[in-house]
Structure 1
Amino acid sequence: MIPDLSDDLIERLREAFLSARYDADGVVDLLGAEAHAALGRGEPVPALRATLDTGPVGTFVRLFLLGTSEPTSLVKAALGPLPLDQARAAGLLRADGDEIRAGLDVRPHGAGDDSWWVVSDLDSDLRGDGRPVSPDHVLGVGHASLSLVRATSRRPVGSVLDLGTGCGVQALHASTHAERVTATDVSKRALALADATFRLNRVDVELAEGEWFEPVRGRRFDQIVCNPPFVVGPARTDFTYRDSGLAGDDASALVVRQLPSLLEEGGTGQLLASWVHRRGEDWQDRVSRWLPPGGVDAWFVQRDVADPALYVGTWLRDAGYDARSQAGRKKAGEWLDWFETNEVEGVGFGFVTLRRTDAARGEVVCEDLRHAYDDPLGPETDQWLRRVDWLRAHGSPQDLLAARLTTAPSTVLEQVSAPSDEGWQAVVHRLHRTDGPGWQHEIDDLGVRLLAGCRGAMPVGDLVELLAVGCGEDVEELTRAAVPMLRELVRHGMVVPAEWAETAE
């Protein structure tokens, strides 16, 4: 049954939440840093203790965040202007004997100065019945959603499409930087809960129902964000939030292939995706073949690779299956059989940034960034595309050598030395970028000397020539080695055009 969350119910619920301070800051203030962190780790007891005798806000936290049953009197007091019978009839709450439990997950979600409430279905561990989630389960704000939020550019745009909106969290974030937001989903239940999310937060979003890009076919957008049902495995739709009905990684391939056609010129798309690592096949070649021909810049970032057994176990638990149960063993066996038949050795997961460009040939880069880094990827994507444009405009070696470059302030040099007859001798020179994705590059001694001179005072070609003369090297040979190195360092923001550094100052 799809919840019937009327405008009247939504407005009364909003009033109750505001009165109780059940928002992102209010929950943190109530719980305190330690209990809030414990709740994020899945440890509810410190949060439960912190909410005792704290009034309506504590009742809401226990209902919606901890999944406890609450006395009817406390729930009525917390709801204030919203009658309990109306909340129960709509499916927001449900009876549990003489007490009340949450029927839906409604939780605060904050980013910067913004605080929203997100409406979704309760996960299996909060429902209290021990059963797997339903096929039309609407997922809340999970780790994957948050990672896409952090990986999405927030530059101001006219229009954003949130493809497969689910609970609507990506559209909420899009509303902070877009004039118009459109959200689609194949699930009627997802659209109903997303609509409740938007009305509860008084955010204007256009909703459309249908598969993939069909609801908006023929339209174009400045930005598209997508957290698709990218789970890799047999062609099935056990759960609409994760299963596409397409086999393997065809769902991710479909989005990458079709998304650019719905972008305005210069528009960008950012999505989560999965891809198989098949025996004897390079994953970079695989995902590159997904791209449509022509003008598309693409940046594939691999953040993790899971072995088949770990992958299957993770997604079974996510759906609420006990891996030791008969149903769990059956699902796992079918899934692992499919991986074995299709020679899948692992499943890659990461982010894809796409941009529609009028260039005859797009820039396609696939990178493995499985190391830990803290900075969000969203701001970096804008700079990455800016650097792609600069490198495209300086495509010939002559153009690059004529440019003035400077080593970025966030670039540091690490040297590893080994003992020698003359003392310590440097054997490894490694550049680190201390912000963004934390790229690293090993360079030789001549590269170290070249970058030491990159201060924007003269064209980099002159620096190469001076270095060659000073070190007794052949100028042409050193130039041939320097050009690809410099291009890669510019691509990763470790060396930047001098005019950019001057503007930043």
Structure 2
Amino acid sequence: MGTPGHSPLLTPPGVYAPQDDTELLLRALARERVDPSTHVLDLGTGSGALALRAAGLGARVTAVDIAWRAVLTTRLNALIARRRVTVLRGDLTAAVRGRTYDLVVSNPPYVPSPGARPPRHSPARAWDAGPDGRAFVDRVCDEAPTALRTGGVLLLVHSALCGTLATLRRLADAGFDASVTDRAVIPFGPVLSTRRGWLRHQGLLSPDHDDREELVVIRAQHA
């Protein structure tokens, strides 16, 4: 699948292909002031869609993913698109410890999953995030302050199934001015469709909304 509105990206099996959540985050990125002086960090880059868009706007971009396949895919997509992107393998901000950025963007795994822990060696590692879906969302919230410069911005997308208010509160506790800046309601995809009963049992899904989910983009500015 390609970056919405742009040339197709390579997305081999096991690498997250751009979808509705990517589109929302791309729209949010377009609203930010990005130029050649802007340092951008893309956490959980997948195929590199967000990193390449930021580089296309002139930013100095670093992209991180824990999966070697995603790292190599992003490097190849950057080469094909002739975009300069530094791509590192690592566990979120551990790959860039000690460095700070003007803008951090992240589309982390956020799908609630029956497993006690997110998978480590399967394609589902790109979306499964533990029973409440917050295994990585919480970590991005907690690690963002050390990765952002004063006045820097975090753009984070996730499903409302894993708790929009919980994210806003966690970011506020970390010293951010955070708000929801975009939303989209989309039909369940194959993964959520197979988990409808489990989600309802967990109290994450009401009978009135058992065939669609809300995606949210949260913008948080570091004080």
Is the contact between residue 40 and residue 104 of structure 2 (CA under 8 Å) also seen in structure 1? yes
State the distance in 1 between where 2:32 and 2:56 align.
8
Contact 1:160 1:174 in 2 (8 A): yes
In the alignment, does 2:20 pair up with 1:143?
yes
Work out whether residues 24 and 182 of structure 2, in 8 Å CA contact, stay in contact via their aligned partners in 1. Answer: no
Give the greater-gyration-radius structure (CA): 1
| Residue 345 (structure 1) aligned with residue 205 (structure 2) | yes
Structure 1 residues 294, 183: CA separation in 2 closer, same or farther (over 3 Å shift)?
A: closer
TM superposition outliers: structure 1 runs of 4+ over 6 Å? none
Q: What displacement does 1:344 show?
A: 1.8
Q: How many residues align?
A: 208
Identity in percent: 25
The offset of 1:271, in angstroms, is 1.7
Cα gap change, 1:120 to 1:293, in 2 (>3 Å): same
Q: Is the 8 A contact 2:17 2:47 kept in 1?
A: yes
After superposition, the Cα gap between the structure-2 partners of 1:214 and 1:228, relative to the gap in structure 1 and judged at 3 Å, is same
Give the alignment's Cα RMSD to 1 decimal: 2.8
| TM-score where L is the length of structure 2 | 0.79
How far the C-alpha of 1:285 sits from its partner, in A, is: 4.3
Quick one: which of 69, 72, 75 aligns to 1:195? 75
Contact persistence 2:4–2:23 (CA under 8 A): no
1:274 corresponding residue in structure 2: 159
- What does residue range 54-453 of structure 1 map to in structure 2 within 5 Å? 116-121=7-12, 137-152=14-29, 153-155=31-33, 156=35, 157-235=37-115, 236-237=118-119, 238=122, 239-244=124-129, 246-250=130-134, 251-276=136-161, 285-291=165-171, 293=173, 295-301=175-181, 303-304=183-184, 311=188, 314-316=189-191, 332=194, 335-336=195-196, 338-346=198-206, 348-357=214-223
The 2-side partners of 1:302 and 1:150 are apart by 9
Query: 1:427-474 CA deviation, whole Å, 9 max, x = no partner?
Result: xxxxxxxxxxxxxxxxxxxxxxxxxxxxxxxxxxxxxxxxxxxxxxxx
Which of 1 and 2 has higher RCO (CA within 8 Å, sep 6+)?
2
| SS in structure 2 of the partner of residue 119 of structure 1 | coil
Could you tell me whether the CA contact under 8 Å between 1:164 and 1:185 is conserved in 2?
yes
Residue of structure 1 in register with 2:209 after alignment: none
Comparing both structures, which one devotes a greater share of its residues to helix? 1
Q: Do the aligned residues in 2 keep the contact of 1:252 with 1:275 (CA within 8 Å)?
A: no
Counterpart of 1:276 in 2: which secondary structure?
Answer: helix
* Structure 1 gaps, min length 5: 1-104, 122-133, 278-282, 318-322, 324-331, 358-505
Check conservation: 1:249, 1:275, Cα contact below 8 A.
no
Cα distance, 1:340 vs structure 2: 3.8
Query: Is contact 1:117-1:201 (8 Å) kept?
Result: no
Q: Secondary structure at the match of 1:181?
A: strand
Partner residue of 2:210? none
